[in-house]
Chains A and B, each alone.
Chain A
């Protein structure tokens, strides 16, 4: 210890001119105050900026210089024998020199950054920013110091083995980036930065300690020093890589239950829902799954998918888009080039142990809407205003149609209905026959600016809802004939849906009415002042959401004419899932879904 300190003291004395340089560079920006240009305020700003720039530049340069000359110069000038002829161990020599370099660096940092701490009091007085900045400056300069030593040792050896170091460095970088890719693909940029920071700190520790071994075994020969340092460095970094991979493996190994702050989107029927959220205890790592609320089964979905569509109407299948080139996607995101990425259509049955099927159908860029048939044989894609229907098994495009903004509904594997709503003035419902490729317009409406078209659960009733004064608020069109159906007249504020069997259900404050055609079948009183109807959940059962503050949801049996259950304070987010007052996702029975 004492000998190491004696060595440290010698090293510091030899480099004492550095302190003078630091003081000079700290005082030099004062010249900016003397120059007769601009106001005093301008000159002060110039001083502040200049001081900061010089401080950063000097610190960086000093760190590298100290690192490079730590042992490198003496090795090349063959003066290392001066130390090894004395009764001191290699470790004492190393730690003495390293201590001196660190001490010099720290003192110089304190000197050159002193004016900045006065000049930027907002930062220096902050309990958060100041320690963070100081730590970053210190850590960064130590990193440069130790990296300088490493590179200096490797290059001064002038040995052919440099090629090995080079290959190892490249391999390490590639392996490290590869390890981070899963994190980045799950939007865990913070985690990735943390991993890089930890790896950098580990590297610094490896060199700080490995240097002692390097000197103990390498002694006066620069090539032996290189060899010993390389051995320590690459073996240690290999261990670090293994740890990184193990950590990333652990982070990525999540299940639906590991998610918090979940955003759900549930199927129109059945117990499956799509969820995504942050993983607990894993920093900013996110996950997404299809999840069966009833059984807990799940299918994992890559985070960078595009959710442009929906479940099939039975809640038994789903379709989504995944990037065909995830690395390309990451690069595009990193550089914000916003190039359209090749996206592949992926379909899956929603059942336990189902494997998503990558269809091999690649789209250039995303899509605004997708739909899959329940038997997974057909997929409809609307992208760039064009509807294309694909045969999943053959990957062939069966038909293509210009539609603008629209959504579709397969009514059979070969028949698809389209509700298009781009045009403010013209909205229409069409039917496309995939065998004949013929398009039929079933309903069209001009001057449709204040109108919304909605296809009912029976696939043939089109609800035309207008909210302009003077027009009929609700019309119900039979798409097989194109003619209005006899229907009740409703106010614009009513909420209306069509059941699977064609019956029309409306809700108004205080009651729910069931119509067959225009005939009122049943009127059910409900305790809801501002009801909103959700789509039919089970045959005959509909969900009514009371939207008032602290709203409620009610399940109404339209056949029995009764309110089946009431749940206070929960908001439906799909047929089977609700958010309670605390924001937890729960089933109708109040059980958390995860």
Chain B
């Protein structure tokens, strides 16, 4: 695999340990260029550790991570030229004014689109002379997004981007991302709890649970194989289903292999599941 064809992100059998605690256990995932990958998981599932390691900010205890084919721990500085990051907790210095922050930021990158950046700032209604710490949480993320996109990154990493954003800000954020996707074919990796938000955007979904990547699948395939089936009474035999749960006077069950599944005759209702419902089923089952 040459660097030109290498996936944007490739984590190979990555284990991350803090002392005796295992945060990520032998995880492998691959994000194809131009695709959108949503990494889901409860708090403490290992997402943040994995993200920090994907960015070369901390080393993996085992396994390798390559961005665009290059090892991220040893090539971090050059790779970051091609990566835009909107972190969960904005890490820009709080006392720094936005305009100074911008000047500093732009001096570190080869590419900088000043017009586009200023346009975005205006759209977000952010005054350049404001101190970064004085901005609202949502505005901080918008500034970080604008800064990140102004450098024309090939990979955009959004770490819980909608946390703390109101509906309008959330909408505008996704609009920006979609525009970038359409215009430049960037690769996007989103970690989030807002499953509804990524449901229409993600090409591929990964679910982390207790440090393990329990699911790594195309969203479409995932949604096509999960169904919630409701019965009037308790079914006697079930093929390859999941836990049977009470529902009203009857019961319901989650089917995870719907295409091969033979529907019993007494099924009252077969309905598709939202990504959120699938997530709960997947992680709840393993709990």
CB < 8 Å neighbour of B57 from A6, A10, A14, A219: A219
7 A–B contact pairs at CB < 8 A?
A: A81-B57, A81-B91, A84-B56, A85-B57, A85-B91, A86-B105, A220-B58
Q: Are B95 and A14 in contact (CB under 8 A)?
A: yes
Q: Are B78 and A87 in contact (CB under 8 A)?
A: yes
Q: Are B100 and A82 in contact (CB under 8 A)?
A: no
Q: Distance (Å) between the CB of B70 and the closest chain A CB?
A: 13
A78 at the interface (CB under 8 A from B): yes
Given A10-B100, A220-B52, residue A86 in contact with residue B108 (CB < 8 A): yes
With both beta carbons as reference points, the residue of chain B lying nearest to A15 in the complex is identified as B95
| In the complex, chain A residues whose CB is within 8 Å of the CB of B83 | 85
Report Cα–Cα, A6/B105, bound state, in Å: 9
We find that the number of chain B residues with CB closer than 8 angstroms to chain A is 26
8 A Cβ contacts from A1-26 to B: 2-3, 6-7, 9-10, 13-14
With both beta carbons as reference points, the residue of chain A lying nearest to B148 in the complex is identified as A85
Most A Cβ at <10 Å: residue of B77, B87, B105: B77
Report Cα–Cα, A221/B77, bound state, in Å: 17
Q: Distance (Å) between the CB of B43 and the closest chain A CB?
A: 16
Q: Are B57 and A3 in contact (CB under 8 A)?
A: no
Report Cα–Cα, A14/B52, bound state, in Å: 26
B92 at the interface (CB under 8 A from A): yes
Given A82-B92, A85-B55, A220-B57, residue A13 in contact with residue B100 (CB < 8 A): yes
CB < 8 Å neighbour of B108 from A3, A79, A80, A219: A3
Closest 3 CB pairs of A and B: A82-B91, A87-B81, A87-B80
| In the complex, chain B residues whose CB is within 8 Å of the CB of A221 | 58
Q: Are A85 and B104 in contact (CB under 8 A)?
A: no
| In the complex, chain B residues whose CB is within 8 Å of the CB of A84 | 55-57, 76, 80
Report Cα–Cα, A89/B77, bound state, in Å: 5
Q: Are A3 and B107 in contact (CB under 8 A)?
A: yes
Q: Distance (Å) between the CB of A504 and the closest chain B CB?
A: 94
8 A Cβ contacts from B72-93 to A: 76-81, 83, 85, 87, 89, 91-93
Interface residues of B (CB under 8 A from A): 52, 55-58, 76-81, 83, 85, 87, 89, 91-93, 95-96, 100, 104-105, 107-109
Q: Are A10 and B52 in contact (CB under 8 A)?
A: no
Report Cα–Cα, A10/B97, bound state, in Å: 11
Q: Distance (Å) between the CB of A11 and the closest chain B CB?
A: 10
| In the complex, chain A residues whose CB is within 8 Å of the CB of B108 | 3, 6, 86-88
Q: Are B93 and A14 in contact (CB under 8 A)?
A: yes
8 A Cβ contacts from A59-88 to B: 78-82, 84-88
We find that the number of chain A residues with CB closer than 8 angstroms to chain B is 24
Report Cα–Cα, A234/B196, bound state, in Å: 53
Mask, A521-534, CB within 8 Å of B = 1, is 00000000000000
Report Cα–Cα, A224/B107, bound state, in Å: 29
| In the complex, chain A residues whose CB is within 8 Å of the CB of B77 | 87-89, 92
Report Cα–Cα, A178/B77, bound state, in Å: 45
Q: Are A85 and B107 in contact (CB under 8 A)?
A: no
| In the complex, chain B residues whose CB is within 8 Å of the CB of A2 | 107
With both beta carbons as reference points, the residue of chain A lying nearest to B77 in the complex is identified as A89
Q: Distance (Å) between the CB of B180 and the closest chain A CB?
A: 18
Q: Are B89 and A86 in contact (CB under 8 A)?
A: no
Q: Distance (Å) between the CB of A85 and the closest chain B CB?
A: 5
CB < 8 Å neighbour of B104 from A10, A78, A87, A92: A10
Q: Are B58 and A219 in contact (CB under 8 A)?
A: yes
| In the complex, chain B residues whose CB is within 8 Å of the CB of A9 | 104
Report Cα–Cα, A3/B108, bound state, in Å: 6
CB < 8 Å neighbour of B96 from A14, A80, A220: A14
CB < 8 Å neighbour of B89 from A6, A78, A220: A78
With both beta carbons as reference points, the residue of chain B lying nearest to A5 in the complex is identified as B107
| In the complex, chain B residues whose CB is within 8 Å of the CB of A81 | 52, 55, 57, 87, 91
Report Cα–Cα, A26/B121, bound state, in Å: 42
Report Cα–Cα, A2/B79, bound state, in Å: 18
Q: Distance (Å) between the CB of A119 and the closest chain B CB?
A: 36
Q: Distance (Å) between the CB of B127 and the closest chain A CB?
A: 19
Report Cα–Cα, A10/B87, bound state, in Å: 21
| In the complex, chain A residues whose CB is within 8 Å of the CB of B79 | 87
Q: Are B107 and A78 in contact (CB under 8 A)?
A: no
| In the complex, chain A residues whose CB is within 8 Å of the CB of B93 | 14, 79, 82
CB < 8 Å neighbour of A6 from B81, B85, B91, B104: B104
| In the complex, chain B residues whose CB is within 8 Å of the CB of A88 | 77, 80, 108
Given A3-B107, A6-B108, A220-B58, residue A85 in contact with residue B95 (CB < 8 A): no
CB < 8 Å neighbour of B107 from A6, A79, A219: A6
With both beta carbons as reference points, the residue of chain A lying nearest to B78 in the complex is identified as A87
| In the complex, chain A residues whose CB is within 8 Å of the CB of B96 | 10, 14
Q: Distance (Å) between the CB of B120 and the closest chain A CB?
A: 19
Most B Cβ at <10 Å: residue of A7, A10, A89: A10
CB < 8 Å neighbour of A86 from B58, B80, B95, B100: B80
Q: Distance (Å) between the CB of B57 and the closest chain A CB?
A: 5
With both beta carbons as reference points, the residue of chain A lying nearest to B106 in the complex is identified as A6
Q: Distance (Å) between the CB of B97 and the closest chain A CB?
A: 9
Q: Are B95 and A79 in contact (CB under 8 A)?
A: no
| In the complex, chain A residues whose CB is within 8 Å of the CB of B58 | 219-221, 224
Q: Are A79 and B91 in contact (CB under 8 A)?
A: yes
Given contacts A79-B93, A84-B55, list 9 more A-B pairs with CB under 8 A: A2-B107, A14-B93, A80-B91, A81-B55, A85-B55, A85-B91, A86-B109, A87-B80, A219-B56
Report Cα–Cα, A7/B92, bound state, in Å: 13
Most B Cβ at <10 Å: residue of A85, A88, A224: A85
Mask, A88-104, CB within 8 Å of B = 1, is 11001000000000000
Report Cα–Cα, A9/B100, bound state, in Å: 10
